[in-house]
Amino acid sequence: MEQKDSETNTPGPLDGVKVLDLSRFIAGPLCAQILGDFGAEVVKVERPSGEDSRHHGPYWQGESIYMFLYHRNKQAATLDTRHPRARAILEDLVRWADVVVENFRPGTLEKMGLGYERMKELNESVILVSISGFGQTGPDSRRALFDAISQASSGLMSMTGEPDGKPTLSGTYIADYTTGYQGAIGAMAALTHRERTGEGQLVDIASYDTMFSALGTRLIAELMLGLDMPRSGSRDLLTAPVNVYDAADGPIYIQAGTASLFPKLCSVMGREDLSADPRYATVEGRMADQAALESAIQQWTGDLPREEVARRLDSVGVPYANVASVREVAASPQLAARDMIVEAEHPSLGTIRMPNNPIHMEKSPPTVRKAPPRAGEDNDHVYGTILGLSAEQIRELRAEDVI
């Protein structure tokens, strides 16, 4: 368990970069959080009642656990963007920022009078990372999109599930996560370009594009071969035998589909007859008779505990994994050794436990310097220290419900 002190100010590779986070839900906030993990100063602006995800359960001490995942290393400021006085404040924040992250539906910023062209007038070198469902261009650009819609529309859902069942969603917000990562990559590439040229730019990230680019083998099979590959459940698309099997005390995933791994699996099963069978000498032959091979493997695993199956597979180097629950993986010694659960101290909420940034770097690693804040927790710092407003001006903004 890695312990990070919220008062630590370890310089990171993005130290000195200023990020204005206007985004909501997952993809945009995750993008800004990644920049913050690498040292950027991030100011998150949300409406006075807090962004939508603050009102989604489950809750811990009155705070949505969504906020613990996507908002560490940020200063939280509230602002009613519909208030007449909000426009000038937002413009001052754009002048301050190096990078602006937003994930409104395309056209929303323009309606607010703060589209990219206006941002460039305020700050000619600003980088605007616009994350949306279908992108800033194209016939679907104005359509609303959430993670599940991205999975369905991009082709991912059609690939997920058992061959004879309905298409299913991934068990996590894979489209939002992947899009957030791509947004952070785009922001850092744009910062490198600006360092070389002085030019800012618009970074246009679409969830639809991101998921399409991640379809893998099935996509290339369609583009190059015109081949529509069906859902395969937990089987591998191209090799066999690969699947989930029931051991005596739980499921275990075994991947032994290659020419070198299949005989090794047969040896620990005591079924050398299978590896000697000419029908199974090629991948194509094993793919054609997967059901029979899987039945033999299941007969072997069914009477053994997973620990024993694992020991035997380890002895010959066959890849496997217990199908772990979230509770089991959270207690994994491997994750502990990799410092993948991090703690941060919040001044009023106490200790918050979160997944750590998965990027490990020797010289300039990501850090957790500040716990995820409550809505408006840092208003005095953002409006006083960053924008230079007086205490009286901040009191007026509060009195008028601007912040």
Supply the residues annotated as catalytic. Answer: 176
Q: How far apart are CA 378 and CA 76, in angstroms?
A: 5
Other CB atoms within 10 A of residue 208 CB: 23
- For residue 278, give the DSSP letter: G
Q: What are phi and psi of 189, to 5 degrees?
A: -65, -40
- For residue 373, give the DSSP letter: P
In this structure, the dihedral spanned by the alpha carbons of residues 329, 53, 378 and 368, taken in order and rounded to 10 degrees, is: 20
Q: How far apart are CA 33 and CA 15, in angstroms?
A: 14
- Identify the residue whose tokens are 């839900």: 25
CA distances from 37 to 53, 168, 323, 330, 358 (A): 21, 33, 30, 21, 11
Total H helices, total E strands in the chain: 19, 14
Q: What are phi and psi of 345, to 5 degrees?
A: -95, 120
Q: How far apart are CA 290 and CA 355, in angstroms?
A: 38
Provide the CB-side half-sphere exposure for 63 (13 A, CA).
Answer: 18
Enumerate the H helices of 139-289 as residue ranges.
147-154, 156-159, 174-197, 207-213, 217-225, 261-269, 272-276, 283-288
Strands of 2-4's sheet in order across? 2-4, 341-346, 350-355
Other CB atoms within 10 A of residue 207 CB: 28
Helix, strand, or coil (residue 3): strand
CA 263 to chain centre: 38
174, 150 Cβ separation under 8 angstroms: no
